[in-house]
Amino acid sequence: MLKAHYKTFGGGGGKLDQNFPLAQSQISVSPLQRLSRKILQESYPSFDTGTAEDMSFHSTCWVHRILQCSILILTACQIMVESSSWTYTGHEGQEHWKEAYPDCGGTAQSPVNIQTANVSYDDSLQPIEPIGYSTPGTGSFTLRNNGHTVVLMLSPSMHLRGLSHNFTAVQLHLHWGSSSHPFGSEHQIDSKAFPAEMHIVHYNSDKYADINEAKNKPDGLAVLGIFMEVMQSGATDNLAYGNIFNYLENVSYADQSVTVPAFNVHNLLPNNLDHYFRYRGSLTTPPCHQSVLWTVFHERVHISRSQLDKLQTVVFSTKVTTPSSPLQNNVRDPQPLNQRIVNSSFLVPPPGSYTTGQILGIFFGTFLALLGTFCIVYFVYKKYSRKNRMEVGGKASNVAHNSPSTTAEHVEVKSFQF
């Protein structure tokens, strides 16, 4: 089509080269020309563009041709940008994302390092209410490896309450590290990262038809962030997360997918949904649209060491037909807050202070230590007292036993003297 436009623009005959009948047919009915015609009519009301057929073969309108070529070039550039690849490191790594995706260089990017000393308590923040998470239906989910993470597509019956609009669930995905870089969460708390992080993505279904319409709108998306920690050695697997991890081998390579039976997604969430951090940010991957209302839960969920090892080792960023490259460290670096405020739904203890659980642990630990010390001292005292009583009793008995004999001997001596 671009060649046909060029020949029409450069030729003097006013007709398309007959060697491009398909291009000629496409131009005569193309929505692109209808768009350019509309732009011309709005920009130049006195200009007569004629019919679509006249517009296709009108070679004297150089403004029209330049506009058409410009639109074609811009469209081609847009397609190239949307289809360009990206990685976390290297020539297409996160330092270069903004070159292909301008939003990635914005001032409201995610993730962030949540500094609890600077968090602002907001008592108007309501508890998060997941609706339909426990009963996602009798159908199934689809788990897919997209080359950047593993994505679980969710049921549209799942949504959130407690926000300004109704937000419908779309998918969840994971971020993790590697054995050499075990801290795979994207968000951080006081510069502390965690082994992994899960994001559950929702779109504003009150205002937008689907996530594609909502993803670049300022109020388009709401994402839940859940930190994962590893349980103590020897602990059993987290059964809820087993609904995902048990299928990872089926999506080891990029573009592979598997059907997963529907399960209770609510069990993936932490127990305490009242305590969370809230701020406005972006998608953490290209195109990095600044359209996300973030809710990052304070409480962590726990998975086993074997589950984390599986996540770090059995998933690859490459397709099955290409040399394998492990999918690891799919983590974007923390982004500047740039005057943004991070709110909390709870009073955050100052950094370095003890939590309620830690205080109770210290109290009961100290109490038990004192109780143990008291018991030891008491039993030692009792034993010592008993020993003393026995010794005193023995001496008294000896005195009582020896007294008559001494008297008799004394009498005998006295008698002998007479």
53, 41 Cβ separation under 8 angstroms? no
Question: Looking at residue 247, what DSSP letter applies?
Answer: T
Q: How far apart are CA 364 and CA 219, in angstroms?
A: 47
CB contact at 8 A, 114 and 187: yes
Tell me the DSSP string of 85-130.
---SSGGGSGGGHHHH-GGGGSSS-S--EE-GGG-EE-TTPPPPEE
What is the largest distance, in Å, between two alpha-carbon atoms of the chain? 174
In this structure, what token pair is assigned to residue 292? 């996300």
pLDDT of residue 37: 55
Is 159 among the residues known to form the active site?
no
Place of tokens 């309501």: 126
What confidence score (pLDDT) does residue 239 get?
97
- For residue 168, CA distances in Å to 197, 222, 295 come to 20, 9, 15
- Which tokens belong to 255? 């573009």
pTM of the complete model beyond 0.75: no
From the first residue on, what is the mean pLDDT of each consecutive set of 10 residues in the chain (418 residues)? 39 37 37 50 49 45 52 43 74 97 98 98 96 86 98 97 96 98 97 98 98 98 98 87 98 98 97 98 99 99 96 97 96 98 93 56 71 77 72 58 49 42
Q: What is the pLDDT of residue 70?
A: 52
- pLDDT given for residue 154 in this prediction: 97
Q: Contact 51/37 with Cβ under 8 angstroms?
A: no
Helix axes 2-10, 62-83, angle to 10 degrees: 160
Q: Quick one: pLDDT at residue 68?
A: 54
Residues 354, 360, 366, 368, Cα dihedral to 10°: -160
Mapped onto helix, strand or coil, the DSSP state of residue 348 is coil
214-273: pLDDT as tens digits: 999 999 999 999 999 999 876 899 999 999 999 999 999 999 999 999 999 999 999 999
Predicted local confidence at residue 370, as pLDDT: 80
238 closest CA partner among 294, 318, 322, 307: 307
309-353 per-position pLDDT tens digit = 999 999 999 999 999 999 999 999 999 999 999 999 999 987 655
Query: For the purposes of burial, counting CB atoms within 10 Å of the CB of 76, is it exposed (0-12), middle (13-18) or buried (19 or more)?
Result: exposed
Query: How many angstroms separate the CA atoms of 52 and 24, rounded?
Result: 12
Residue 124 sits at φ, ψ, to 5 deg, of -85, -10
Phi, psi of 260 (to 5 degrees): -115, 130
Catalytic residue, from 148, 165, 173, 199: name it: 148
Decide: residue 385, CB within 10 A, 0-12 exposed, 13-18 middle, 19+ buried: exposed
Please answer whether residues 197 and 227 qualify as being in contact, where contact means their C-beta atoms are separated by less than 8 angstroms.
yes
Looking at domain 107-352, which CATH architecture does it have? Roll (3.10)
Question: What separation in angstroms does the CA of 196 have from each of 147, 227, 331?
Answer: 17, 6, 9
DSSP structural state of residue 207 = T
pLDDT of residue 414: 44
Question: Measuring CA to CA, which residue among 292, 295, 272, 276 is closest to residue 284?
Answer: 292
What per-residue confidence (pLDDT) applies to 362? Answer: 66
* Tokens describing residue 335: 């982004």
Tell me the two tokens of residue 57.
Answer: 């073969």
Domain ranges of the chain: 2-83, 107-352
